[in-house]
Amino acid sequence: MLFDQFNNIPMLVKDKTLLYFPIMSPPKLFFLLLLILAVVIVMLVLLGIKKTPKLAEAAGLTIAVFTGLVLLQKRRNKKKKQGHFERNGGLLLEKQLSAADGAIEKTRIFMSRELEAATDGFNESRILGQGGQGTVYKGILADGRIVAIKKSKVDKSLLEQFINEVVIVSQVNHRNVVKLLGCCLETEVPLLVYEFIPNGTLFNLIQNDNKAESFPFTWTLRLKVATEVAGALAYLHSGLTIPVFHRDIKSTNILLDEEYIAKVSDFGASLSIAIDKTHMTTRVQGTFGYIDPEYFRSSQITDKSDVYSFGVVLLELLTRQKPIPSRGEGEDVYLGLAQRFQTSMEENSLPTILDPQIIDQTNEGEVIAVAKLAQRCIDWDGRRRPTMKEVSIELENIKMSRGGLTIQENYQSSSCTDEEAVVMIDVYDASTIGSENVKSTSDAYAVLNNTI
């Protein structure tokens, strides 16, 4: 309490604005006063003022004490960071990284000072967004790269799961999944470093009418985004050695880059599941309005839970409405978008719920096809829902039908990676095409040429 009087001492009044000392903790203030005292004594000795043996001894003693305290503080800080590192699973992460294959070498463990410098000390002006999983900051690394730094909270009992998720997401290599660059475990709460995606969320694009003139939210763009997200989820479910269930698919977790290419983000709730299992019993996680009702009732997560959530995103693209309407937005305020959409389909009144902007465009067949697909995705019985593979295929077919493109031409135009090309073979004709001999994009195209 003694040092509280030094906090926020007014220094200067100019234009009726008070300037203050930065708020200092008592230890920092003590170090500052000790440093000032040491400097004053040394200057007196050097200038020859009252040059006595006692003054010289005092100067030497002050400098020695100050140096010792600085070294002690550095040691304490290092020990504190090491404690955070171990508590946050740093040793386990290092072990898993060293045991993993080459794909994970690109993931880096950052020093806390690097990320503090990148965000101006996690300044509030750098906040990109806040949510249940944590706060995301915009940062600029020393090499000039712009990144998104997520400051998340981790339950100690779920620490090993968190580390496993970092390792899993590090191995995800898909153009429509936000890339994890690294993490920092020296801080009190772990930090995750992702590539920066500049154009915000799909939710904002859907709900923002101000962009209508400069960047119209056309049906072509909506269909493209839906196809890209479906491809990413099909990859997570079927293209990895260990399948990953996202568990929180929603329009706010779909980001758009400078070319409005969709990127699935926020794997804080994700789970990996053994390939021989069809479900896993867990504590229900997700966002109201997107949660699979079957998962909500049974607590059993399956790949069809992501399908349901994706179906709700399709409804947002079709209707431009929120999954759960705000109070006062209509008579059906207590009904979610999924229920209202199902009713409109059953009553053969689809146009009443669709966004008028897409009704006016010449794509009636495509809109109806996507609406029917969405209806299957949000079926209350998970067994009747399609898989994400099937959803991806159907959307690709709808998208390609307008231009008469072949599968090969479609993927050549979108520059898929070699890894995606292998998955593409598996997705498009898993029953007839073997992917064991497909190692590159050119191999994939060759197989496709012989198939289609």
- Any catalytic annotation for residue 248? yes
Question: 203 φ, ψ to 5°?
Answer: -55, -45
Question: 397, 439, 394, 396: which is closest to 421 by C-alpha?
Answer: 439
Among candidate residues 4, 209, 248, 426, the one labeled active-site is 248
Give dist(CA 291, CA 250) in Å, integer. 10
Q: Which residues are catalytic?
A: 248
